């Protein structure tokens, strides 16, 4: 065999090897995650909360005019252009100007259609006072109604990150328009200086107590009225929050109660006194929690059974 033939064979084998290596490298390289869409100031700022508050109160007024119960909302998504409600049960009967998707599990309205008009007496109150921002999903603001959990909500992750998220919840409820009628009670070590700095004690709606029993006793005997639950088909999310229902509180504010996991473990027998319009947030892992929010080191949030994707949790938005 002459030298040119040998060289041709060697070069051919080398080329085939390089191509094979390239193919294997491409197969092993994971697909890059889609770039995060940055959130606009209209979505991250106070004006977004004002728009959401307006939309939810107008929703309540529209339901009253239509002679129907409030929808069973567990999450709210705001893009700036649209406001979307995610429902725990299928409900295709959306009042104007809302439109339901094919499944009946999402209602959407253009933000431009929320301006003007008259609330009427029934629309003056905020029906979802414990709805708080959990974070951003591809630039859209995502809120969750904490009162929809049928039992405690555990917030896990590194201690600092979890506390940062819970502080964001407390701050928004105390200073924002959606939670203007809500009260927050910090129990035991949850009432740390880091949690209360800048807010605490300047708001009559932020309370600190020593025990969970004491927290539940505050206003626990005040009356409230439940809105009826739709008998429509329910989703998996609804089954996770079954036993709770959308409520209109009469006579007292809905409450968010916050305590750490160790104290919750010691005092959880008192939870039976939790009202249906309230929410209990546990800093740390809680075996008996209904929902679990896990804060990632990269700033993301795993919302557990709710299945909401959060790229940047609320504690990192400020």
Q: Is residue 126 in some structural domain? A: yes
- What pTM, to 2 d.p., does this model score? 0.79
Give the list of residues 6+ apart from residue 200 with CB closer than 8 angstroms, or none. Answer: 191, 206, 208
Closest listed residue to residue 164, CA positions, set 176, 153, 156, 174: 156
Q: Answer for the pair 55, 81: CB distance below 8 angstroms, yes or no.
A: no
pLDDT tens for residues 202-252? Answer: 678 899 999 999 999 876 444 333 333 333 333 334 334 433 444 444 556
Question: Quick one: pLDDT at residue 218?
Answer: 78
Q: Does position 33 have pLDDT exceeding 70, yes or no?
A: no
User: Residues 240, 206, 156, CA angle at the centre, nearest 5°?
Assistant: 40
Q: Among 19-28, 120-129, 251-260, where is mean pLDDT lowest?
A: 19-28
Span 144-163, pLDDT tens digits: 999 999 899 999 998 789 99
Q: What is the pLDDT, as a whole number, of residue 272?
A: 84
| Tens of pLDDT, residues 121-134 | 444 578 899 999 99
pLDDT at 231: 33
Q: Is 8 inside a domain boundary?
A: no
SS (H, E, C) 257-274: EEEEHHHHHHHHHHHHHC
pLDDT at position 20, please?
Answer: 53
13 located within any domain: no
Check residue 261 and give its pLDDT. Answer: 96
Q: How far apart are CA 43 and CA 52, in angstroms?
A: 10
Query: Considering its fold, how many domains does the chain have in total?
Result: 1
The phi, psi pair for 172, rounded to 5°, reads -65, -40
Q: Provide the percentage of residues in the chain whose pLDDT is more than 90.
A: 54
pLDDT of residue 158: 86
User: Is residue 275 scored above 90 in pLDDT?
Assistant: no
Q: Highest mean pLDDT range out of 188-192, 222-226, 306-310? A: 306-310
The pLDDT confidence band at residue 316, using thresholds 50, 70 and 90, is very high
The partner residues of 140 in beta bridges, in order of sequence, read 137
Is residue 165 situated within a structural domain?
Answer: yes
User: Could you tell me if residue 312 is inside a domain?
Assistant: yes
196, 200, 201, 206: CA torsion to nearest 10: -130
Q: Is the per-residue pLDDT at 7 higher than 90?
A: no
Q: Tens of pLDDT along 70-117?
A: 999 999 999 999 999 999 999 999 998 999 999 999 999 999 998 765
Confidence (pLDDT) at 276? 86
Residue 35: the pLDDT is: 57
Mean pLDDT of the chain: 80
What Cα–Cα distance (Å) separates residue 291 from each residue in 90, 153, 177, 216, 306?
21, 5, 25, 20, 8
pLDDT of residue 230: 36
Please enumerate in sequence order all residues whose Cβ is within 8 A of that of 254, keeping only pairs 6 or more positions apart, or say none: 129, 130, 147, 181, 182, 183, 247, 275, 277, 278, 279
> What backbone torsions phi and psi does residue 98 show, to the nearest 5 degrees?
-80, 155
Decide if 27 is inside a domain.
no
Domain that holds residue 143: 41-316
Distances (CA, A) of 299 to 148, 251, 267, 318: 24, 39, 31, 13
Q: Round to whole Å and give the CA distance between 91 and 230.
A: 8
Alpha carbon distance, N-terminus to C-terminus of the chain:
75
**Which pLDDT score is estimated for 17?**
58
Q: Looking at the domain assignment, is residue 95 inside a domain?
A: yes
Residue 233 lies in a domain: yes
């Amino acid at each position: 065999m002459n030298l040119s033939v040998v060289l041709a064979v060697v070069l051919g084998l080398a080329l085939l090897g390089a191509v094979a290596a390239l193919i294997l490298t491409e197969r092993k390289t994971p697909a890059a995650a889609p770039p995060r869409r940055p959130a606009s100031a209209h979505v991250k700022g106070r004006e977004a909360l004002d728009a959401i508050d307006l939309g939810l109160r107008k929703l309540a007024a529209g339901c009253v005019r239509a002679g129907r119960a409030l929808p069973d909302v567990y999450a709210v998504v705001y893009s700036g252009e649209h406001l979307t409600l995610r429902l725990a049960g299928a409900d295709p009967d959306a009042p104007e100007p809302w439109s339901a998707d094919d499944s009946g599990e999402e209602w959407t309205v253009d933000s431009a259609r929320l301006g003007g008009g008259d609330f009427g007496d029934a629309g003056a109150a905020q029906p979802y006072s414990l709805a708080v921002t959990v974070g951003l999903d591809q630039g859209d603001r995502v809120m969750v109604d904490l009162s929809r959990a049928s039992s405690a909500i555990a917030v896990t992750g590194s201690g600092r990150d979890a506390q940062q998220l819970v502080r964001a919840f407390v701050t928004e409820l105390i200073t924002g328009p959606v939670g203007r009628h809500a009260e927050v009670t910090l129990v035991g070590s949850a009432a740390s200086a880091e949690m209360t700095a800048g807010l605490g004690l300047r708001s009559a709606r932020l309370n600190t107590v020593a025990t969970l029993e004491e927290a539940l006793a505050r206003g626990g005997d005040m009356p409230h009225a439940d809105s009826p639950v739709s008998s429509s088909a329910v989703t998996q999310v609804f089954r996770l929050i079954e036993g709770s229902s959308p409520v209109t509180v009469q006579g007292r504010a809905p409450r968010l109660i916050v305590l750490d996991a160790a104290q919750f473990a010691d005092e959880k027998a008192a939870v039976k006194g939790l009202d249906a319009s309230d929410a209990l947030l546990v800093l740390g892992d809680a075996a008996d929690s209904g929902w679990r929010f896990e804060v990632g080191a990269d700033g993301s949030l795993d919302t557990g059974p709710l299945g909401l994707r959060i790229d940047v949790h609320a504690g990192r938005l400020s």
